[in-house]
Structure formats: structure tokens, C-alpha cells
Structure 1
């Protein structure tokens, strides 16, 4: 019982530190959705080996999407004319970083890691994108791009049948702001909440149970620490926001900041599901380039970050960061309560979705008989949503 209390105590402490920054990240993410014109973005990610790659990497850094959530956005950009290199850069920089994860990194870690994370994501994305364009064996298709000019607020028009000056005047600033906030709460946080709280509990387990000596001995620095983090992070499904409290707990237990950075880079950018989708979207060669360059630059970034900390004699600090000094406790508490309230519906839907998947799996026998009754099938009554 004491261990359970300790786990929840550590998780609650992390939530307090991160809550205000989560709300800030949600706000910025919602505003990006409404005020950033998708047709303008697509126009800058077309032909060319270098320019579109750099633009795609820069564009992806502030957008808060996970490794699976970024796939439809990247597919849309590719259909609108973005080349493989630009698509690859966007696929790397977007899930590795975001305004929400950068804000939480500032809250839970330290300023050095806050800067190192998006910079490493940008460099990795550019290197992978340029490599993809240089090594591309086939000429780019010269299809005509179909730009999505539909209204980002409520799709009131497709943007093609009315002049631009009339199109932008369809909605007031207040309507756009409300639409952005609604998107942030319903869609953005709706996708992230379940995984964030799972990561929060996992971080609490690490902080409360795992001995510090174990982490510092095996993951205290060096190439072997980076390679272990690669093996852990690549197949795992975890978003950039959820990975941050886990990294904070790891650093508290003695993991080097470089090894933690490797986890922060490869964890959100890859998982088994997203890699299989990439195989169909970009092809086998492009997926191999994506994974190789991501792993290579994640390890290089981790080694360089450890060198920076060591050369300046800086102790990697988690939790005792800027949030505790800048944000008063009452504001942290208010932010945590708001985050919890906003998470009630997403967590319910998350639990319902997980249970539904287990129930569906339990209905299918190993021989393909849908009438097979496994123990997992007994979850049906528990998982069914109340009518």
C-alpha cells in the first residue's frame, strides 16, 4: 500500500509541475490549427532537394502530433505535392517535438534539454529528408497538387469558389479563437490525454520503485546507454508529451541526459504500427532511410548532449526546474485540476477503446472461430459503455 501511495505521490508531483505548460501547449496547438493556412504550407513543400526539407522540418517542430497522429497529416501533404524528403522531415520533426512537449520539457527538465530537444529533432529531420531526396532513385511525379483551401473553422466553403478576401472574412476573430480552443480540448487533448496519464503513472513507478543505482550503472552515459534506449524507444508507442515525465523520472534515477534525449527522440517518432504505415506510404527504401537516420542522429545528439553537460559541469536536473521557481503553487494546483477536468471524457473514451479492442480480440479463436470464448471476452460487460 505504501508503494502505491508513493507512485501516486510522484505522479501527482509531476502533474503539478506540468499542468500550466500543458494548458499553454493546448492553446498554441489550437491556434495553429485555425490560423495556419494549409494551402500556404503545401505550396512550400514541393519540388527541390533542400528547401522543402528545411521548411517541412521547421513547420513540423511546433505541431503537437504523435507518431501515429502525424501519419494522416503527412499523407495529406504528400498528396498535395510534398516530395518524399519533405514528407520524411515532417514525419520526424513533428512527433519528436511540439509546443506542448517543449513547454512540459521546460517544466520538468531544464533549459538545456528544452533547447536540445527541438534542435536535435530539426537536425535529424533535415538530415533524413535530404538523404531521402539525394538517394531517391525515381524521378518525382509531376502531378498537379490538389490544395485544401477549405475553411479551417467549420469548412463553410472549399476556398475555391470565393475570392480570398471574402474567404478570410467568413468568421470573426472570436469565432476562430473559439474553434481553436474547441479543437485543442476535443481533438488535440482528446488524443493525448490517455497516453499522457499512462506515461505519468509509468514515471511514478520509475521514481518510486526502481533503485537509482540500477539506472546509473546501466544508463549513466556512453554509447551502450544510447543503444539500450534505442531498443526501448523504437517499438514503443508514446507521444512527445507522455515521454517527458518518463524522461524526467529516468534522469532523477541517474540516467544520463543524453540517454534520456535518445528516448525523447526515438520514442515519439517511431512505433511498430507507424513503421508499417510508413512502409506503405513511402516505400521500403525510404522507411529504411527514415529509421537509420533517426537512430544515427539520436545517438549522436545524445553523446553530444552528455559532452555539453560534462564540459560545463552541469548536473542534469529534473523537477527542480524553472516551473517550480516561476509558477506559484496555487496556479500549479489550479492548472492540475483543470487538466484533470478536461481529461475526464478523453480518459473514459480511452479506457472504453482499450477495453473494446480486448473484447474484440477475445471473440476470435486461434482457429478464426468468432464464437470462441476466451477470458478476454469476459471483459465485454465491464467494458461496454453505459447506454
Structure 2
């Protein structure tokens, strides 16, 4: 519904066409979508936290094998149809709920890379073998990268204030009225939005510009060969771009039709969906540059490994 409204406004009401129309259409649609997700998810998580002490969530995870949380978060990412920027609100909600940092990253990586839209389109375009390999390797990258980040004790690199949960939940918490809970959740949501809104707008603007000017022919020319450097080059080229799985899949089909090896094309797709310059700009208000660089580097190495494995298995 909202997609059709934005399309009609840009292409019919304003009468725009070409790349500038695509850029504006993308910017308006994603701005409303991401801010809606931010408000709704932060508000709901904060409200639920007033009923259910999140210490219990951490305590539950602590009783499980450390791998359990990462696997659960990565699998959960499959059922949330978010791009890299749209997944950030829920990622932020996990941080506010004091879910272990590495587990939250397993979700942030998996959600845009392994969502059901990507799976459905891969199955339609490339068959079950490629789809099964993609899901397996995508989950592996999310789990392993999350574990690595979690082992590095980087909690101090979170810039957004996370409410401490080291003390007992005060008894007065159970005496809060629903009106009090709603008011507190709304005030906290507004506080977070005030801190991140400028970074979100900037990230979406960059993403919209890149989305409208994807150099398809250039990508095929420089990264479409069987050379050893094709996979890392495709990964490097994919990171500055921004799209969801549905948006980038037609491009992947074009690239493979023009001769780009499947592993190289999928590494390019993973870099676009799981990592992006707009995502880094939004995360900058939440995480330090040190943690962002570690996150991007770890995932990029995993994506390149997957690209090489795909080319070897399907070659």
C-alpha cells in the first residue's frame, strides 16, 4: 500500500522520471519505513521490558550453551524481512534488552542476508541447490561472526546508553499503571529517536543515491572474471551500495547471465544486503568506529570465504 502511494506521488503527482525519480522514490519510502520501525520496535521493546525483567532473558541464555543464542538469533533473522538498515531498530532493541552483544550481531548479519524474500527469489531463479548452499553459508557467517565479536569484550564500544540491569527490579515496578508504562516507553523512544534521526536520514540519503546509480556494466567488467581477486573485489564493490534482497536479486540474475561466477555474484549480493555504507552511517550513532570496523571486517572475510566456496563447489 505505502509502496504504491510513494510511487504514485513521485512518478505521477510530481511527474518525475529516470534516475532522479528512482532516488527520490527510494528515499521517501525507506525514510518512512525505517522511522516507523524505529518508533514501533523501540516503543514495544521498552514497554515489554517494564513487564518482563530482561535479566531473566540474560539468565536464560546464560544457562544455555553459548552457541544456542547465536543460532537462535541467526535463524530468527530468516523470518524478519529486513534490509541492513531496517534491521537496526530490532538490533537496537536487543541491545536495550541487554541481549549479549555477539548474539545481537548474529541477528543483524542474518536478517538482511537470509530473509525469506531472498530465499524465495533464489529458489525461483537458481534452484534448490544454490538456495540451500546460500542459506547454510549465510547462517554460518552470521553465527561465526557473532561468536567472534562476542568474544572480544566490546560492550564499552556501545555509544547509546543502555539501562543497567545489575540490580534487583524494584518492587514498585509491579505497581506501575499501564498509563505510566506507556508514558515511560514513549519518552524513552523519543529520546532514542532524537539521538539517531540525523544519522538515519543521512544513511538513507546516501543509500538512495547509490541505489539510483548502480554501475552494472562496470561491476561485470571488473569483477566478472574467474581471477582470484574477483570475489574480494565484488565484496568490496558491494559494501558501498544499499538494497534489500528483493531489490538486488534482479541485478544478480543479470550479472550471472553475463558470465559472472555464481560465488562471486552471491558474495556481491551478501555484501550489499548484510553490509552497506548507509548502515555504517546509522550505526555510527549507536556504536564506535572501532566496533563498526570490526563488524564490517569480520563479515566481509566471511562473505569472501563463502564466495570462494560457492565457486569451488559449483565450478
TM-score (normalised: structure 1): 0.50
1:295 pairs with one of 287, 292, 300: 300
Q: Distance in 1 between matches of 2:114 and 2:58?
A: 19
Q: Distance in 2 between matches of 1:288 and 1:145?
A: 35
**Which residue number corresponds to residue 269 of structure 2?**
264
2:81 pairs with one of 41, 53, 64: 64
1:116 matches 2:133? yes
1:241 matches 2:258? no
* CA distance 1:243–1:45, shift in 2 (3 Å): farther
**Which residue number corresponds to residue 94 of structure 1?**
111
* CA distance 1:50–1:280, shift in 2 (3 Å): farther
1:224 pairs with one of 229, 234, 256: 229
Query: How many residues matched?
Result: 222
CA-CA distance at 1:255 after TM superposition: 0.2
1:194-240 superposed Cα distances (whole Å, 9 cap, x missing partner): x9xx98x989x95xxx59xx948842334311122112110101111
1:280 pairs with one of 269, 281, 285: 285
**Larger CA Rg, structure 1 vs 2:** 1
Tell me the SS of whatever aligns to 2:286: helix
Q: Distance in 2 between matches of 1:69 and 1:238?
A: 11
Q: Distance in 1 between matches of 2:265 and 2:213?
A: 15
CA-CA distance at 1:99 after TM superposition: 0.9
Alignment of 1:135-150 (within 5 A): 135-136=152-153, 142-143=165-166
Alignment of 1:69-88 (within 5 A): 69-88=86-105
Tell me the SS of whatever aligns to 2:295: helix
Q: Distance in 2 between matches of 1:45 and 1:67?
A: 25
Q: Distance in 1 between matches of 2:264 and 2:167?
A: 44
* CA distance 1:221–1:44, shift in 2 (3 Å): farther
- Checking the alignment, whether the CA contact within 8 Å between 2:224 and 2:260 is kept in structure 1 is yes
**Which residue number corresponds to residue 384 of structure 1?**
none
- Checking the alignment, whether the CA contact within 8 Å between 2:74 and 2:139 is kept in structure 1 is yes
Tell me the SS of whatever aligns to 2:151: helix
Q: Distance in 2 between matches of 1:45 and 1:226?
A: 38
- Checking the alignment, whether the CA contact within 8 Å between 1:56 and 1:89 is kept in structure 2 is yes
- Checking the alignment, whether the CA contact within 8 Å between 1:44 and 1:52 is kept in structure 2 is no
Q: Distance in 1 between matches of 2:257 and 2:89?
A: 36
Structure 1 stretches of 4+ with a deviation exceeding 4 A read 37-40, 42-49, 137-141, 143-146
Give the unaligned 5+ runs of structure 2.
1-39, 157-161, 170-177, 183-206
Give the unaligned 5+ runs of structure 1.
1-32, 147-156, 162-194, 311-387
Tell me the SS of whatever aligns to 2:148: helix
Q: Distance in 1 between matches of 2:118 and 2:93?
A: 24
Structure having the larger proportion of residues in helix: 2
CA-CA distance at 1:91 after TM superposition: 0.8
**Which residue number corresponds to residue 203 of structure 2?**
none
* CA distance 1:133–1:243, shift in 2 (3 Å): same
Q: Distance in 2 between matches of 1:285 and 1:58?
A: 27
Q: Distance in 2 between matches of 1:135 and 1:53?
A: 15
* CA distance 1:282–1:143, shift in 2 (3 Å): farther
* CA distance 1:217–1:85, shift in 2 (3 Å): closer
Alignment of 1:1-387 (within 5 A): 48=62, 49-136=66-153, 142-143=165-166, 210=217, 215=220, 218-310=223-315
Q: Distance in 2 between matches of 1:73 and 1:273?
A: 17
